[in-house]
Amino acid sequence: MNTPTVIRRYALPLLLAYGGFAYADTSPPEPVDAPAPLLIPVCAQTLYHACGLVDRHGNWVVEPAYGQLYASGKLWVVERESGLMGLLDANGKTIIQPSLQSIGLFSEGLAPAQRWGSDKYGYIDAKGQFVIAPDYTSAGGFSGGLAVVSTTVDDEMGVIDRQNHLVVPFGQYDHVDAYAYGLATVQRGGDWGVIDAHGRLVLPLRPRQNLVVIGPDRILAVTASSQQTGSNRYALLDGQGHELFAVAGQNAVIQTPTEGLSFFTDAQGRTGVLDIQAGRIVIAPHKDWSNSWPFSDGVAWVSLAGGTGDESVYVLIDHHGKDLLRRTGGGVTYFHNGVAAVSDKDDHWGLIDHSGRFVHTMTYSGSAPAWEWSEQTPRDGDALKFTQSNAQDSSDKTVWIDARGQTIASVEPQACGIEAVRNAKGDIVWPRNLGDTCTAKAQAEGSQAATSAGVQAVLLEAAQRKLQLAKEEDRRHGYEFGPSSSGDILVPLDTVWQHGPASIKLDGPATFELPKGYHYLSPEAVRRLPDPVSPGGGLSVALLAPEDGLWVGRLVVAQQGYVPSKGAQLDAQKLKEAINYYGTRFDIRASTGIEHNTSIE
């Protein structure tokens, strides 16, 4: 998959109203210049999909145990495939086990989060503790000690500080954007304004398409200049609303700034560069610049209108507009740590430095950032992730490369249908035993019998992981035992069980000795469960389960009586052996999440 031409965080700030309302996120934007994480998330498919964290030599710091990992400030948000989220520190040490429903981006030491099964947001600190109770229906990230939240009353928006004091009352505005540089844009109807950190209007409400705070004491205003042509007017304002620069027309635009500079396009379709703090043009508009990439690493790409034939021509410029490098055809991405990923016309990707010298030759079929802030939100840094296609079997190899062009780690498909992770030296670091795992894969698919204790250990580990995920799925739906692991037995989390050791009184004079490590739910309690669990015939059914929750069983409490054995000629020893064999048999090939039953006569 190729890196998109424009990354999401650099999207133009034109947020036109749809149905009279313009949506904007209530979290501050991801920091462009944040230091790259020390660790890199790597995922592989063996008998199950799992992700872990490797160091810059490709060795595990956190072995694969998660469905996904996201860089969040200096921390790591980890997500299990069941949806449970937890938190690791910068070095991969567990802060909180996966137990929360959601964890947002950390900013200023706090992150919005939800407890499992709750629809309310609060804020956790870097220790994973709720420091602001989950009382809000939505919660944005903190910026300048302030965050935008909403309540259940018509989702009215307001602003709180770190002590959970209300700074902007709920419902005062229809919408409040995230604070940036001590200011926030607000909306009421079709009118937009700007408030300060005390909630005071510093820019009065007026009819506009949008307002965006883009720097210290700098605001970008968008207004409709012509309803007939659909053109707009972009103006750079100071904090008091004084206009410093403006462009208008059908193609006119001022882009979101990076490194204090904004590309703009005027009414004639010419593109130049604006210094937003000085409020003046620093690179004169060029008629032949048709597209531009935001500044990063002190440089930016622009493309030339027309190009050479059907091929695009990319020009790398510095802050003064000096032509540093030209490339023809293919694609380009932003520079970080002195390198950028580029491709040729045949879509082969590699790494170049500012001079255009190849740090790593063009041998890959796709490029992407090595980290994510959250799902589908890339985070740039001093490493890139490349894909390399195998034309023979259409499989893809994934390789992580640092800014020096050195391989950090790779994930390679194997002939047996799994993936193997190699470190920088080329040693396989996952799975732990490739041969046993390949054999276990074949055995799990029924094409080969288990041959060793190592294979059985691989199968058992995979089964236990799937079973754990099934239990987590049950909890996600609010059950100890739910539809994903126990068929039609639905046991809510708040159900009160009897715990062993205990003597359970059954019908009549009978008692049942419940061992330690097990718990029991009486027929009376079972009848109050959401769905009936009786196999039919109106039998009185109890439930029995171990404390670790690995399984739940129906216990039929029959009427008093006896089973006649006259003429049966039972062999007690053989019966005991059969019960021991069938009762303890565990079919490792059974798909976790589906009941596995063995019938005996």
pLDDT in tens, 319-347: 999 999 999 989 999 999 999 999 998 88
pLDDT at 584 over 50: no
Dist CA 121 CA 113 (whole Å): 5
Q: How confident is the model at residue 27 (pLDDT cuts 50, 70, 90)?
A: confident
Q: Which residues contact 165 (CB under 8 A, 6 or more apart)?
A: none
- Residues 478-507 have a mean pLDDT of 81
| Statement: residue 487 has pLDDT above 70 | no
Contact 472, 82 (CB under 8 A): yes
Per-residue pLDDT at 563 = 60
Domain boundary among 422, 438, 454: 422
Residue type, 542: A
Cβ 88 vs Cβ 78: under 8 Å? yes
Residue 221 confidence (pLDDT): 95
User: Residue 174: is its pLDDT beyond 60?
Assistant: yes
Domain final residue pick, 422, 453, 468? 422
pLDDT digits (tens, 9 = 90+) for 444-486: 887 777 678 999 999 989 988 888 888 888 877 788 887 655 4
Mean pLDDT, residues 368-386 taken together: 89
Does 142 lie in the same domain as 77? yes
Evaluate whether residue 161 is within a structural domain. Answer: yes
DSSP state of 477: T
Segment 508-566, tens digit of pLDDT: 677 889 999 999 998 888 888 887 665 555 667 889 999 887 788 888 766 555 666 66
Q: Which residues contact 172 (CB under 8 A, 6 or more apart)?
A: 158, 199
Give 63-81 pLDDT, tens digit per residue: 999 999 999 988 999 999 9
Cβ–Cβ < 8 Å for 222, 278? no
Residue 29 lies in a domain: no
466 phi/psi in degrees, rounded to 5 = -65, -35
- Top-confidence residue, 550 or 167: 167
Position 355 pLDDT exceeds 90: yes
Question: DSSP state, 559?
Answer: P
Give the max Cα distance, the chain: 106
Confirm if 93 and 84 have CB atoms less than 8 A apart. no
Per-residue pLDDT at 22 exceeds 80: no
Find tokens 């002590």 and name the residue.
Answer: 163
**How many Cβ atoms are within 10 Å of 305's Cβ, its own excluded?**
14
451 falls within a domain:
no
Q: In the prediction, which pLDDT does 488 show?
A: 64
The reply to whether 369 falls in a domain is: yes
Q: Over pLDDT 90: what percentage of the chain?
A: 58
- Specify whether the CB–CB gap between 150 and 141 falls below 8 A: no
Confidence of residue 3 (pLDDT cuts 50, 70, 90): very low
Q: Indicate whether 382 belongs to any domain.
A: yes
For residue 473, the model assigns a pLDDT of 82
Please report whether residue 450 resides in a domain. Answer: no
To which H or E segment does residue 412 belong?
A: strand 407-413
Least confident of 164-178, 227-241, 270-284: 227-241
What integer pLDDT is reported at residue 125 of this predicted model?
A: 96
pLDDT for 230: 63
Classify 427 as helix, strand or coil. coil
What confidence tier does 15 reach under pLDDT thresholds 50, 70, 90? very low
Q: Is residue 274 part of a domain?
A: yes
Please state which of the ranges 111-115, 316-320, 425-429, 479-483 shows the lowest mean pLDDT: 479-483
Residue 176 resides in a domain: no
- 545 in the same domain as 411: no
> Do 94 and 164 reside in the same domain of the chain?
yes
At 224, the pLDDT band (50, 70, 90 cuts) reads confident
pLDDT of 296 over the 90 cut = yes
Half-sphere exposure of 261 (CA within 13 A, CB side): 23
Of 548 and 317, which is predicted with more confidence? 317
**Omega before residue 431 within 30° of 0, cis:** yes
Q: Which of 1-5, 311-315, 481-485, 524-528 has the lowest mean pLDDT?
A: 1-5
Residues 413 and 491 reside in one and the same domain: no
Question: Are residue 415 and residue 484 in the same domain, yes or no?
Answer: no
pLDDT at 575: 74
**Residue 594: its pLDDT value, please?**
43
Which pLDDT score is estimated for 206? 93
Report yes or no: 212 and 254 within 8 Å, Cβ to Cβ: no
Residues 416 and 504 in one domain: no
Residue 158 DSSP one-character state:
E
Q: How many domains does the chain have?
A: 2
Kindly tell me the sign of the dihedral angle through the C-alpha atoms of 201, 207, 212, 215: negative
Residue 587 has pLDDT above 50, yes or no: no
Q: Where are the beta strands (DSSP E) in 23-156?
A: 40-45, 49-54, 60-66, 68-72, 75-79, 85-88, 94-103, 111-115, 121-124, 130-136, 138-139, 146-150
Handedness of CA 411, 413, 414, 417 (dihedral sign): positive
Looking at the structure, tell me whether residues 71 and 143 fall in a common domain.
yes
Span 85-97, mean pLDDT?
96
Residue 585 has pLDDT above 60, yes or no: no
Residues 554, 409, single domain; the answer is: no
What is the C-alpha separation between 490 and 177, in angstroms, rounded?
Answer: 43
Q: Which residues pair with 55 in a beta bridge?
A: none
Taking CA atoms, 79 is separated from 42, 247, 458, in Å, by: 14, 45, 23
Q: Are residues 291 and 364 in the same domain?
A: yes
Do 403 and 488 lie in a common domain?
Answer: no
Q: Which tokens in the block code for residue 579?
A: 């019960």
Of 29 and 538, more confident? 29
Pair 227, 203: CB distance under 8 Å: no
- 19: tokens are 């149905």
Crossing angle of helices 453-476 and 434-444, rounded to 10°: 70
Q: If you average pLDDT over residues 207-213, what whole number do you get?
A: 92
pLDDT score of 590 more than 90: no
Domain that holds residue 501: 479-584
Looking at the structure, tell me whether residues 394 and 278 fall in a common domain: yes
Mean pLDDT of the chain: 85
pTM equals 0.81
The DSSP bridge partners found for residue 386 are 367, 399
The candidate with the shortest Cα–Cα distance to 369, out of 383, 350, 388, is 383
If asked whether residues 61 and 162 sit together in one domain, one would say: yes
